[in-house]
Copies of this chain bind each other. A is one copy, B any other.
């Protein structure tokens, strides 16, 4: 029975979006990434572009005194988190947006982290044929997005982004490439009950 929810956190350029999408296709369940922004905007009549911009901005700590509208920012995170909780009533794959943290009490949640070496991420972005934002300096973009995502995660969850023990599985997509999907599928398969087989760790 497919009663689980999968959350995927991913480093920029690791191919985590595509890996999540293919996993959802294989498991026959819906896939959400930026769609969460659109669904939230739609429900609460907010401009999706504005919401998306705010989400991308690095979070400054509260003691800094000023920053990108911290209150509005927190409110939007809350609305987005509600969308995630609603979506998680049905099996699905959710990428980004601290969904692993938002759904931390979900009884059947699998949380994956996808990353890759710096060079491999640059090579992947070059091959990815316009699926990443255009930039003259991809190396700078990767470093910037790493910092932003780590700051976003830290601000909203208080936890370290990319710490293995925060996830059920972390995998280097630079080693496995497209076969990373096979490994994630295997993880899900292995968590399914196997009848009377005896279990000892």
Whether a CB of chain B sits under 8 angstroms from the CB of A171 is: yes
The CA of A110 and the CA of B182, in the complex, are separated in Å by: 17
A42-50, A52-60, A63-71, A161-169: which one contacts chain B? A161-169
B186 touches A175 (CB 8 A): no
List of B residues within 8 angstroms of A177 by Cβ: 199-201
How many chain A residues sit at the interface, stated as a range, is 20 to 34
- Chain B nearest CB: distance from A167 CB in Å? 7
A169 touches B171 (CB 8 A): yes
B169 touches A170 (CB 8 A): yes
Report which residue of A113, A162, A173, A187 has the largest number of chain B beta carbons within 10 angstroms of its beta carbon.
Answer: A187
Can you give 26 contacting A-B residue pairs, CB < 8 Å? Answer: A11-B165, A15-B201, A110-B175, A113-B164, A115-B165, A127-B200, A162-B164, A163-B164, A164-B164, A164-B167, A164-B170, A165-B172, A169-B170, A169-B171, A169-B172, A170-B171, A171-B187, A175-B191, A176-B191, A179-B190, A179-B191, A182-B186, A183-B183, A183-B186, A183-B187, A183-B190
- Chain B nearest CB: distance from A169 CB in Å? 5
Residue of B nearest to A117 (CB): B165
- Chain B nearest CB: distance from A23 CB in Å? 14
B201 touches A178 (CB 8 A): yes
A positions within 8 Å CB-CB of B:
11, 15, 18, 110, 113, 115, 124, 127, 162-165, 167-173, 175-180, 182-183, 186-187, 190-191, 199-201
B164 touches A115 (CB 8 A): yes
Residue of B nearest to A19 (CB): B201
